[in-house]
Amino acid sequence: MRRGIRYVPQGMQELPAGYSVLGIPVTLRRDSPHHARTAGFFGMYWIEVNEHFFYLPFDEQHAILLHECGHVRLHHLLFRLLLLPLAWTNWVKTLCWKQEFDADTFACKQGYARPMLQYLRRARDDTASEYHPPPSMRRKAIEFFMHNGVPLCESSC
């Protein structure tokens, strides 16, 4: 590396045709507000990425795709669909927060704890939403996993 020139890791510039991760198709939805999100229902799932996704470093792209794979593999969307009538309850909101931690743990278990942490450090604001924990809480849970090799909290707790 030449002095003064910072290495900028390059990510995917576009989706290769038929691209999938762990058998889950990845599609482009330019106008999506999320870098990546899972969509689908009853066994038909896919991951949508927006155009900002392509500006992320390659390892962070993979980390967030694996986070989305975690949502699919752990059947989170099915739970959310079934619990839709109770979506306003604190119980379901708590469950949704736990699903985010579990999806992060899934990515961590694939070896992507550090890139997931880097990605969450980029978060511009640290506010929680009703269904999403704040990035700082997710970072703490990932750091716990990195230091202890076990999740801070499994689905059963």
Q: Which is nearer to Zn ion, 4 or 81 (CB)?
A: 81
- The sheet carrying 24-28 orders its strands as 20-21, 24-28, 44-49, 36-41
| Residue least distant from Zn ion (Cβ) | 103
Q: Which is nearer to Zn ion, 103 or 117 (CB)?
A: 103
Closest distance of CB 89 from Zn ion, Å: 20
Q: Return the axis-axis angle of helices 135-148 and 113-121, rounded to nearest 10°.
A: 160
Site for Zn ion in 73-132 (CB under 5 A): 100, 103
Q: Which is nearer to Zn ion, 10 or 87 (CB)?
A: 87
Rounded to the nearest 5 percent, the helix, strand and coil shares of the chain are 50, 10, 40
Number of residues this chain uses to bind Zn ion (CB under 5 A) = 2
Give the Cα separation of 86 and 89 in Å (integer).
Answer: 6
Closest distance of CB 73 from Zn ion, Å: 12
Give the Cα separation of 117 and 122 in Å (integer).
Answer: 9
Q: Which is nearer to Zn ion, 10 or 94 (CB)?
A: 94
Residues that bind Zn ion (CB under 5 A): 100, 103
